[in-house]
Amino acid sequence: MLIVHLLRDGGHGAMVLPDGTLFGEGIKTRIKQELLEKCNLHTIVRLPNGVFAPYTGIKTNLLFFTKGEPTKEIWYYEHPYPPGVKNYNKTKPIRIEEFDAEKKWWGKLGQESKRKESEFAWRTSVADIIADDCNFFPKNPHVEDNAQRDPAELLAEYQKAQAAVAEVREKLCRELESALTR
């Protein structure tokens, strides 16, 4: 990988990569293995959809590394949309102020051990990443994954929600009927 080759030991580097690169196979796996062996890939910041709109709408990632020692663990930070924003685009781009939370969490370079896990930040050991076929794309452990929940439990929640909707619908119908008969 050219960027790693050009860095001297102790040199810092960063890359912007689309999501597909983080979990792809073949040459992508060999590149990721080389990065883990030759560099300390200490942080991956996961950006949401639309950050690079209009050029692409896919999620992208910022990888930060230091050449010279192998990776032991990777910190992840999942950049959230600000309140009221559902997607970035050409007319509503990401703003630099939105990175204040990352800056505060980041701390000083080389002091990753002082970082704290949160709903947006977590870490994964390199052993777990290698065991998962060099997948740099682990799920945020602080976000509940409905796909991993018991189907009977999900069905019960769905039926409860449907009952609540039916109750509101009935109330609304009674109110409308009352208003129309006055």
pLDDT score recorded for residue 146: 55
pLDDT score recorded for residue 11: 94
d(CA 4, CA 33): 12
Do 43 and 75 touch, CB atoms closer than 8 A?
yes
* Superfamily of 2-143 according to CATH: Vaccinia Virus protein VP39 (3.40.50.150)
Beta-sheet strand order (sheet of 73-78): 12-18, 60-67, 39-47, 73-78, 121-125
Rounded to an integer, the average pLDDT of 174-178 is 87
> What phi and psi values does residue 67 have, to the nearest 5 degrees?
-80, 145
- Give the tens place of pLDDT for each residue, 56-112: 778 899 999 999 999 999 999 999 999 988 888 888 889 999 999 999 898 877 677
Name the percent of the chain lying above pLDDT 90: 37
Q: Is the pLDDT of residue 147 over 70?
A: no
Higher pLDDT, 144 or 58: 58
Do 17 and 61 touch, CB atoms closer than 8 A?
yes
Name the percent of the chain lying above pLDDT 70: 97
Q: What's the pLDDT band for 27 if we cut at 50, 70, 90?
A: confident
Q: What's the pLDDT band for 25 if we cut at 50, 70, 90?
A: confident
pLDDT score recorded for residue 87: 87
